């Protein structure tokens, strides 16, 4: 599949829609205008790729709705020097958005098929990041701590390892709940204290533990 003026036009429209829904971070809107989302989907979805909708990808997973991607990215309040950990690489689209914002990106995916697909697509598009095949509940202790952590699957509870791997002053955006989720913003204010805010209701595929 190619990327052409037809796709670029659709992306501009999508960015406008997201702006109408409350996305105001220009860097996030620029990333939406730039990244060829249709390449992260099966070619049969080419005509729908710029609708503000989630779609099925391999291994029974989904690519998040563009609004959700933009909302979580905006909520992270990224700084150019940030080290960011993403849990649930999936298609790799959210990973590309993070890379476009110029931060250092680490991403974990537990489905091997998706790990391979996202690695090759992100490489083809020249994105630099560290991708790992593994269990996001464990985080990435060897690369910790992280300034920001973004979880893109619904967690039953906040994984303790991820809280440990956040710097003091760092922030995690994570959907928590079974069935549907509350999006939480968690700021680590000291080694032991966290400030938690609810940012709204969302629906994600479940974050699975190694043995599930
Ligand atoms: N950001 C992705 C979202 C994919 S859906 C995108 O927009 O394409 C959530 C992803 O989290 C799925 O790919 C799923 O396989 C992955 N996932 C679920 N549990 C996980 C875990 N414990 N560790 C890492 N990834 C996990």
Active-site hit among 43, 64, 120, 180: 64
- The structural domains of the chain, ordered by start, are 54-202 (3.40.50.150)
Q: Label residue 98 exposed, middle or buried (CB < 10 Å: 0-12, 13-18, 19+).
A: buried
- Per-residue pLDDT averaged across 67-91, rounded? 98
Q: What is the mean pLDDT of residues 191-195?
A: 96
Atom index in ligand 1 nearest the CA of residue 118 equals: 8
Q: How many CA atoms lie within 13 A of 174 on its CB side?
A: 27
- pLDDT value, residue 209: 82
Question: Is the pLDDT confidence value at 145 over 90?
Answer: yes
Residue 82 pLDDT exceeds 70:
yes
Give me the pLDDT at residue 210, please. 66
Q: Under a CB-based contact definition with an 8 Å cutoff, are residues 133 and 115 in contact?
A: yes
Residues 6+ apart with CB under 8 A from 192: none
Per the confidence metrics, is the pTM higher than 0.85? yes
Closest by alpha carbon to 73, among 22, 9, 108, 139?
22
CA distance 77 to 197: 14
Expressed in angstroms and rounded, the spacing between residue 207 Cα and the centre of ligand 1 is 7
Q: What is the pLDDT of residues 10-25, one digit of tens each?
A: 999 999 999 999 999 9
Q: What percent of the chain has pLDDT over 70?
A: 99
The confidence score (pLDDT) of residue 5 equals 93
pLDDT of residue 27: 98
> CA-based diameter of the chain, in Å?
51
Q: Residue 1: what pLDDT?
A: 72
Pick from 38, 45, 61, 69 the residue to mutate for probing ligand 1's pocket: most ligand atoms within 8 Å of its CB: 61
């Amino acid at each position: 599949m190619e990327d052409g003026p037809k796709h670029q036009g659709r992306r501009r429209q999508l960015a406008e829609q997201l702006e109408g829904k409350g996305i105001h971070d220009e860097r996030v809107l620029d990333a939406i205008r730039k990244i060829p989302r249709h390449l992260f989907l099966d070619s049969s979805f080419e005509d729908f790729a710029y609708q503000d909708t989630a779609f099925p990808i391999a291994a029974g997973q989904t690519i998040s709705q563009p609004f959700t991607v933009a909302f979580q990215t905006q909520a992270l309040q990224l700084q150019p020097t940030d080290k960011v950990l993403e849990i649930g690489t999936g298609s790799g689209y959210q990973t590309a958005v993070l890379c476009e914002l110029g931060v250092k990106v680490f991403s974990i995916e537990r489905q091997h098929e998706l790990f391979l697909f996202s690695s090759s697509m992100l490489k083809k598009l020249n994105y630099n990041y560290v991708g790992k095949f593994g269990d996001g509940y464990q985080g990435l202790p060897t690369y910790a701590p992280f300034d920001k952590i973004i979880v893109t699957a619904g967690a039953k509870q906040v994984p303790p390892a991820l809280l440990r791997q956040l710097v003091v002053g760092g922030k995690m955006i994570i959907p928590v709940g079974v069935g549907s989720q509350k999006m939480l913003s968690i700021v680590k204010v000291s080694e032991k204290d966290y400030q938690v805010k609810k940012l709204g209701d969302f629906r994600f595929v479940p974050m699975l533990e190694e043995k599930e």
